[in-house]
Amino acid sequence: MDITYETYKLKNGMTIILIPNDSTYSVTVSAMVKLGSAVLENSNTQGITHFIEHASFLSTKKWPEKDLLISTSEFNGASFNGSTSKEYQSYYINIPYSKLEYGMEFIYEILYKSILNPKYIEQERTVILDEIDRRCDDPENRAFDYEIKKLSKYKSAYSLDVIGSKEIIAKIATDDLIKHYKTAHDPARVYLTLVGNFNQSTAKRFINKLFLQTQNQDTIVKYPKDEMAESVIGVKTDAKTNMVFSLLAFKGKGIIETNMRDAAVNNLIEKILTGTFSSRLMKRLREKEGLLYTISSSDYEYENFGYSGIYFKVIPEKYEKTLRIVLEELKKFSDKGITGKELVHFQEYIINRNLVVYDNIHDYSRLVKYPIFYNKDVILLEKLNEMYKSLTIREVNLRIKDLYKLKKASITAYGKVGIDMEDKIKNILDKA
């Protein structure tokens, strides 16, 4: 796929990313904002950033009634949504290529002209409270919330759930939301991306017409200090589930410290460990031992810190044996490293999957906008696959040895566990 892109800044500090491609009939206009829940929230305001994301879509100056906003988007064949994470918010709309001006005006209105009508705020409060109930009904979500809190060394806002608690959401005032909204989308923190079938000159004209109206507020974004706590054993009983959810975590680097080659090495390691049916832990735990359905691994990365996690769930009777085997395989992995056959197999797997994953311009655009968002070099697909092809056994094995230090591992077990499980985990870890 041929891809070109242009990036520049407006006078107010907003970053513009244009990725035109006429192989599609649609355009996606998105705004990523460097202001997530970890930046401004504390235990008393937990969930307000996510609430703002919801409230921004309810009514705006141009579309003051919620029904009008929705019916207009439907008439234009649009779909839109948003998300909130610890370090950024994201808003997007996908429209037909013929509706570019509408799509850009929609994002502008959401970011800067929302009307936080108390009537709609109360309706949306009920929606979020329902969302919290649904999350709390899922033991996997309860386990994840426990793990995040347990592994936070400094118990900063990174350890708080993005969605908030029912108690806090119930009492957040409309005035608090209005105050938060006024500073939430400072253009200097906004990365506006257009992807798809559009004319660049036309797009720039719309951008200048709409987004140059906004003023840089010179707000300072400061991420709270935190890092993964090492050598922590956390056990919590949940009588509402019949499973045990477990996480093994190993301290890693943050996004800023991790270059693209390091990220490629990390991804390759994860695939070899748990990424496919032929991966080491899947073959051992599922195919050979029949202990579980699946096991996964991934990097949990923030700007300034991160960790690599291996996650699985099993019935209680099989938990100790599963943990013992995972640690046994990790020790073997660290001591002996990977083989040349494994390297070639998983290099080819990732290279070929990349051709599928980035098969359309909207997915491909992630290779452009995320590096720009994090101030990193953009590496397009051909070069990315060349990088994977060039990875060596030596650099992969050095990374494995550096990462999987069992004595520094943190382990959590959540669910149907006994009061002696912490001691059992310590004993298993000591013998690994």
User: What residues does CATH 3.30.830.10 cover in the chain?
Assistant: 6-211, 233-431
Q: Please give the single-letter amino acid code of residue 111.
A: L
pLDDT at 305: 95
Q: Look at residue 174 and tell me whether its pLDDT is greater than 80.
A: yes
Q: For residue 221, what pLDDT is reported?
A: 77
43 touches 224 (CB < 8 A)? no
d(CA 160, CA 432): 32
CB-based contacts of 334, cutoff 8 Å, min separation 6 = 400, 401, 404, 405, 406
Q: Can you name the CATH fold of 6-211?
A: Cytochrome Bc1 Complex; Chain A, domain 1 (3.30.830)
pLDDT exceeds cutoff 80 at 114: yes
Percent of the chain with pLDDT over 70: 100
Residue 217 in this model has a pLDDT that exceeds 90: no
pLDDT, one tens digit per residue, over 291-335 is 999 999 999 899 999 999 999 999 999 999 999 999 999 999 999
Q: Tell me the per-residue pLDDT of 349-385, one tens digit each, with 9 for 90 and over.
A: 999 999 999 999 999 999 999 999 999 999 999 999 9
Q: Over 80: is that where the pLDDT of 210 sits?
A: yes
Task: Determine the pLDDT at residue 272.
Answer: 98
Contact in structure between 397 and 230 (CB atoms under 8 Å): no
What pLDDT score does 122 carry?
Answer: 95
pLDDT confidence of residue 218: 75
Over residues 89-100, the pLDDT tens digits come to 999 999 999 999
Instruction: Read off the pLDDT of each residue in 200-227 and give the average, rounded to a whole number.
Output: 91
Considering the domain 233-431, what is its CATH architecture? 2-Layer Sandwich (3.30)
Percent of the chain with pLDDT over 90: 94
Phi and psi at residue 15, to the nearest 5°: -90, 130
pLDDT bin (cut points 50, 70, 90) of residue 170 is: very high
